[in-house]
Amino acid sequence: MAPPKKPITSNAGRDQETRIAAMRAIFEAAGFSNVEPPLLQPAEVFLDRSGEDIRRRLYVFNDPGGQELCLRPDLTIPTCRLYLDGAAKAAEARYCYSGAAFRYQPQGSGRANEFIQTGAEFFGGKDAEDADAEMLALATRAVTAGGLAQFDIKLGDLALFEALVDALDIPGGWRSRLKRHFWRPAYFKELIGRLATSASPVRSDAREGLVAALGALDETNALSVIEDVLSLAGIAPVGGRSVAEIAERFLERAADQSAAPLSKETAKLIDSFMSLSAKPKDAAKRIRDLTKAAGIRIEAPIAALERRFELIEKRGVDLSRATFETGFGRTLEYYTGFVFELRIGDNAVAGGGRYDDLLESLGAKSSVPAVGCAITWERLQAALEAPRGRAAK
């Protein structure tokens, strides 16, 4: 009997494996241990923490035991769960990975529902700015090892926006709302416009009548009432939102009607801040000038920004290719500080950032400093095939 034939591997398949292995080797050489998080994950952890962009594209189903599961839409949260399950005893932990992730893509989008992520996560680093710099440097080296010689860098820092909002003389509820909707530019702009006008007139329809009635209740009782109303009406969660989240929107409307409008000066300051774009060498001065003119001081995150840029350049990253935008936060809502993307035009081949609160929300006893990055192979491949994406030798 003839021996079984070996499977035929295409040149394209071998090229993919070689480039992915080269990228993973960059992380392994820096001390990151390779892990393989499970494909199946509890859906709840992604529905609660990933943001609307991910929630509406999850592949969610129930197993025979009734547990709601999903195919992992990325590998950051699954890697966090591995850390909490086994390695959380260590002061620091460095993990890297390469594997499939799954997100629904509309027909005609040109993007695959299944894609490959190669990345790394650094848990417990005590020097946040240095860990941020290391992760960006590793991402640029990994992308170069994968074959991409030229790309742009887009940078942001959510800590600056949080500091600005905390310094504003506005109701506490508005602060939390502005932070929560930072990732939704269109809705954020609409929200600022609504808060900057006088209280919305109460219409005669039942919805506005309910909103007006809620304004007379304390928050706990109002939330209980609206949850009961929605449940009695048989309203199920939509787009990953729970009944409690829908109820919260009604409470926000009630609060808007009773609060004084946002001043024009404050609205203009927020708009100017969100629109600021500069080269890294100019970013800190631009932010200082803007906030100083408004009588606001947020020196701590600005100083951290300056130090981070210095450390990034010391690690060999050319920041002349980079742009810093105060309104840039990516689409994953668990980020808390520094964020970045490596881009060819509008195509982000890699991205990452800091997410110090995520592990506590997943069960850690306290906040765990964490920063990571992920490279999407299919986007990198598309960049390599584009005229500008000349492969590195």
Which long-range CB contacts under 8 A does 189-197 form with residues at least 24 apart?
192/262, 192/267, 192/270, 192/271, 193/267, 194/256, 195/256, 195/261, 195/262, 195/267, 196/261, 196/262, 196/263, 196/264, 196/266, 196/267, 197/261
Residue 292: pLDDT over 70: yes
Find the domain containing 251 and state its range. Answer: 169-262
The total domain count for the chain is 2
**pLDDT at position 118:** 98
> Is residue 123 within 8 Å of 92, Cβ to Cβ?
yes
Considering the domain architecture, whether residues 29 and 81 belong to the same structural domain is answered as yes
Considering the domain architecture, whether residues 124 and 194 belong to the same structural domain is answered as no
Sorting pLDDT into bands at 50, 70 and 90, what band is 263?
A: confident
Which of 245, 262, 279 corresponds to the end of one domain? 262
> Is residue 139 within 8 Å of 375, Cβ to Cβ?
yes
Sorting pLDDT into bands at 50, 70 and 90, what band is 301?
A: very high
For residues 259 and 17, the model is more confident at 17
Q: Burial of 123 by CB count in 10 Å (0-12 exposed, 13-18 middle, 19+ buried)?
A: buried
Sorting pLDDT into bands at 50, 70 and 90, what band is 154?
A: very high
* Alpha carbon distance 337, 155 (integer Å): 11
In a domain, 43, yes or no: yes
Which of 262, 295, 326 corresponds to the end of one domain? 262
**pLDDT at position 30:** 98
In a domain, 13, yes or no: no
Sorting pLDDT into bands at 50, 70 and 90, what band is 73?
A: very high
Name which of 140, 183, 130 is nearest 304 in CA terms: 130
List the single range of 184-188, 323-327, 339-343 with lowest mean pLDDT.
Answer: 184-188
Considering the domain architecture, whether residues 23 and 152 belong to the same structural domain is answered as yes
**pLDDT at position 262:** 81
> Is residue 135 within 8 Å of 120, Cβ to Cβ?
yes
Per the prediction, the chain carries an average pLDDT of 84
pTM, two decimals, is 0.82
Strand 33-34 relative to strand 338-344, pairing: unpaired
In a domain, 303, yes or no: no
> Is residue 364 within 8 Å of 93, Cβ to Cβ?
no
**pLDDT at position 181:** 78
* Alpha carbon distance 342, 354 (integer Å): 16
Considering the domain architecture, whether residues 100 and 184 belong to the same structural domain is answered as no
For residues 262 and 142, the model is more confident at 142
Name which of 279, 311, 310 is nearest 152 in CA terms: 279
Q: Work out the angle at residue 332's Cα, subtended by the Cα atoms of residues 326 and 335, and round it to the nearest 5 degrees.
A: 60
For residues 41 and 234, the model is more confident at 41
Sorting pLDDT into bands at 50, 70 and 90, what band is 196?
A: confident
Considering the domain architecture, whether residues 144 and 206 belong to the same structural domain is answered as no
**pLDDT at position 176:** 81
- Average pLDDT estimate for 158-176: 88
In a domain, 2, yes or no: no
Mind listing the pLDDT tens digit for each residue in 225-248? 766 766 666 665 544 455 555 656
Considering the domain architecture, whether residues 152 and 175 belong to the same structural domain is answered as no
Which of 242, 262, 282 corresponds to the end of one domain? 262
**pLDDT at position 217:** 52
**pLDDT at position 160:** 97
Considering the domain architecture, whether residues 139 and 237 belong to the same structural domain is answered as no
- Average pLDDT estimate for 250-272: 74
Considering the domain architecture, whether residues 138 and 62 belong to the same structural domain is answered as yes
For residues 302 and 185, the model is more confident at 302
Considering the domain architecture, whether residues 135 and 58 belong to the same structural domain is answered as yes
Query: Residue 117's domain is classified under what CATH number?
Result: 3.30.930.10
- Average pLDDT estimate for 18-27: 97
* Alpha carbon distance 70, 58 (integer Å): 7
Name which of 153, 157, 154, 164 is nearest 272 in CA terms: 164
Contacts of 184 (CB under 8 A, 6+ apart): 52
